[in-house]
Amino acid sequence: MDTHAYPVTRTDAEWRAKLTPEQYAVMRNHGTERPGSCALLHEKRAGTFYCVGCDQPLFESKLKFESGTGWPSFNDPVAGSIETTVDRSYGMVRTECHCARCGSHLGHVFEDGPPPTGLRYCINGVALRFEPTA
């Protein structure tokens, strides 16, 4: 269980009221949406992707790329917006990424992305809200 104190906290009932059942399963129970199921996978406009749980800016669209995985992928988050932990679920070791403000599970980060970072932040689209640049 995560005992880290986050700037934004909610009770379980508050999370359930704020999030859809799918968002709750992903963001609060470390689930994964079906690959290719989120419209944000195909979002190409200029803008910012925010955490659905607390509205923190997480990723700028200029750092989004098509990874072919079925999930929105980025090669660098907004500075200070993402924290990571080791995820040993399903018999493998991965790096989980979560929102630094509310602790919501977002996805995982892998070291197989494009330059300049070489990272691929593989993010569940249901955890994101997109706002295009005006």
CA atoms within 13 A on the CB side of 118: 1
In the annotation, is 38 catalytic?
Answer: no
Which residue from 99, 87, 85 is spatially nearest to 7, judged by alpha carbons? 99
Question: Which residues are catalytic, by number?
Answer: 122
